[in-house]
Amino acid sequence: MKSIWTWLALGVVLGGLAAEAGAQPGPEVLQSGIEVREVLEVGKNFIRIAKHPTTGELFYLGVNGLIFAVDVEKGTSERLYTWPDHGVRIATGFTIAADSTFFLVGNPTRDDNNIGIIKKGEIVDGERVWSTVAETEPYAESGGRDHKFNAIEITPDGRFLLVNSGSRTDHGERQTDGREQPITSAIFRLPIDAENLLLPNDEGGLRPYLYADGVRNSFDMAFAPNGDLFATENSDTRDNPEELNWIREGRHYGFPWRIGAYDNPQRFADFDPPDSDRLLVEGINMERTFHNDPDFPPPPVGVVFTDPVINAGPDADKFRDPADGLVKDASDEGVGISTFTPHSSPLGLVFDTELALDGDWAGDGFCLSQNDADKRKYKPFGDPGEDLLHLDLAKAADGEGYGVRITRLVQGFRSPVDAVMRGNRIYVLEYGDNGRLWEVVLPPREVDTAVRDEGAPPAVFALAPNYPNPFNAETAISYRLPAAGTATLRVYNAQGQVVRRLIEAYQQGGSYRVIWDGRDGRGLRLASGTYFAEVTWNDRVKTEKMQLLQ
């Protein structure tokens, strides 16, 4: 995440650059049915907000290790912990387990070396007791391009922690003490009950924990309602698109050989910037780290890189055309990009996992653009930035990728850095001297109790909540198709695995009702737990959460 880490390294906070402009105006709503209100002013350098998955309580974390609890209704906060309590001084990651355990990620330094550390705070006899989950052996800092350890997520089954380790280079160039190292530009999976685990900086020692490789800096990760894991990622100084990736175990996402679905030109012998590369512009993003580099390491043999999600617009889809060097709007040109406008710094990824939203937004994703329109590298693209985006994702028919339609919902935040979703509300945290916490209220789900005329095609594609829910013997799943098309109805478990295929057929427009008996595809009764009904129609997807009780 270049925006935060660059300024942190210089000792300059994000909000400090804009504070002289005067009082902050309120964010502006761009679509009907949305409301925004200020919850409270949090102050400077707060980097993460987390939600208790059971109680819904909100907490926010500062880079200096301060942790506050929020009373959203009263607009107040209470300081709970400081860095001496938990031992994490340069804090960058924060999540909460269902049993109220806090997990923090930090990056202390020692003799110009970085150390990634994961701490947990468990409730024991009414008191929070802190201990170390894992710590890396010291590894060399690069001297300005270090993204370090940051994002942390708990897997849906509650057994593992997924932790991102950002790159130590901009695009794989040689820095102080070399280029990328085994411990950098990767996502690791650690047992949630680990204690004092040492992560070595070598491939062999890390192999049991490596979940995904070749990520430049997946500063935000989140699970969708169907169990698929996504991550936002900012690309390098070159005008490559910022990425939204579907993160899967064992995949390599290309860094540093492929960035934003473009090959990194520095890996090729004829690279002569900026003349040989229209994505580098003198005075804007042409830096000394771009140069002919005959020692650039070759890509790993036999590895197939996984490209980002394709953005079909209409928003966040500006790009610089590598053919002529001109800035263009992808949807206006009838093409897609992978994924966001370059240098927008996508952060604060959340999903409607509670399926609390109405209509076409139910189960969808949302994220923030952190950079403002006047940033030097971002300005040529003409995107407003500092906004809240709606991510309407659709899985490919072969199940091997996703596309996304992105729409701007709210603009006018000031350096928004993180978000959480509770019901139909998204809470947006800003980073800077006068950082604020905002509540964005989206249209809630409305239960349709009307009986539809069976002869009239429904106006919208929809999946109704199953009934009864929770259920024991069987439950009814109802969905509506506004027109003829290929439809599927599948049941997934909490790990995102398909357990039953109920419908796979071409169907006419109309209302449908299917009974599921709580059995898998082999006819075996499934265990009690959370399951998801997913209906697809053409390129659209709807999901509903179901609770099976045996």
61-78 tens-digit pLDDT: 999 999 999 999 999 999
Least confident range from 102-116, 282-296, 390-404, 466-480: namely 466-480
Most confident range (mean pLDDT) of 403-417, 485-499, 515-529 is 403-417
Given pLDDT bands bounded at 50, 70 and 90, which one contains residue 22? very low
Predicted local confidence at residue 522, as pLDDT: 76
Q: CA-CA distance, 170 to 256, in Å (whole number)?
A: 9
Residue intervals of the chain classified under CATH 2.120.10.30 are 33-441
Please tell me the predicted confidence (pLDDT) of residue 359: 75
Residue 143 has a pLDDT of 79
CATH, range 33-441: 2.120.10.30
**355 pLDDT above the threshold of 90:** no
- Residue corresponding to tokens 């520095």: 266
| CATH architecture label of 462-548 | Sandwich (2.60)
Question: Residue 512: its pLDDT value, please?
Answer: 85
On the question of pLDDT at 19 being above 80, the answer is: no
Check whether 150 has a pLDDT greater than 70.
Answer: yes
* Pairwise pLDDT comparison (289 vs 13), residue with the higher score: 289
User: How far is the CA of 439 from the CAs of 350, 352, 359, 475, 544, in angstroms?
Assistant: 14, 15, 20, 35, 25
Average pLDDT over residues 423-440: 95
Mean pLDDT across the stretch 486-495? Answer: 89
Contact criterion met (CB below 8 Å) for 78 and 47: no
More confident residue, 487 or 86: 86
Q: What is the pTM of this model?
A: 0.80
Q: Which regions of the chain carry the CATH code 2.60.40.4070?
A: 462-548
Q: How far is CA 425 from CA 35, 36, 201, 419, 541, in A?
A: 9, 10, 41, 10, 22
Average pLDDT value for residue range 243-269? 98
Instruction: Specify the pLDDT at position 460.
Output: 83
Asked whether residue 12 carries a pLDDT value surpassing 50, the answer given is no
Give the mean model confidence (pLDDT) for residues 48-55.
Answer: 94
Angstrom CA distances, 256 to 160, 163, 477, stand at: 27, 19, 45
| Whole-number pLDDT of residue 483 | 84
pLDDT at 103 over 60: yes
- The CA-to-CA distance between both ends of the chain, in Å, stands at 46
Q: Which two tokens stand for residue 175?
A: 């820095």
Name the 3-class secondary structure at 84.
helix
Amino acid at 76: T
Greater confidence (457 vs 56) lies with 56
Judge whether residue 383 has pLDDT over 90.
yes
Q: Are strands 91-96 and 425-430 parallel, antiparallel or unpaired?
A: unpaired
User: What confidence score (pLDDT) does residue 97 get?
Assistant: 95
Q: Strand, helix or coil at 436? A: strand
Reduce the DSSP state of residue 15 to 3 states and report it: helix
31-35, 246-250, 356-360: segment of lowest average pLDDT: 356-360
What is the Cα–Cα distance from 76 to 73, expressed in whole angstroms? 8
Q: Which residue has the higher pLDDT, 165 or 514?
A: 165
Please give the pLDDT value at position 345. Answer: 97
Which helix (H) or strand (E) segment holds residue 350: the answer is strand 346-351
**Distance (Å, whole) CA 25 – CA 36:** 12
Of 150, 120, 101, 91, nearest to 349 (Cα)?
Answer: 150
Confidence check: pLDDT of 105 > 80? yes
Instruction: Tell me how far apart the alpha carbons of residues 218 and 152 are, in angstroms, rounded to a whole number.
Output: 10
Q: Hey, what are 82's tokens?
A: 């400081």
Q: Is the pLDDT of residue 10 over 80?
A: no
Band (pLDDT 50/70/90 cuts) for residue 456 is low
Examine the pLDDT at 449 and tell me if it is beyond 70.
no
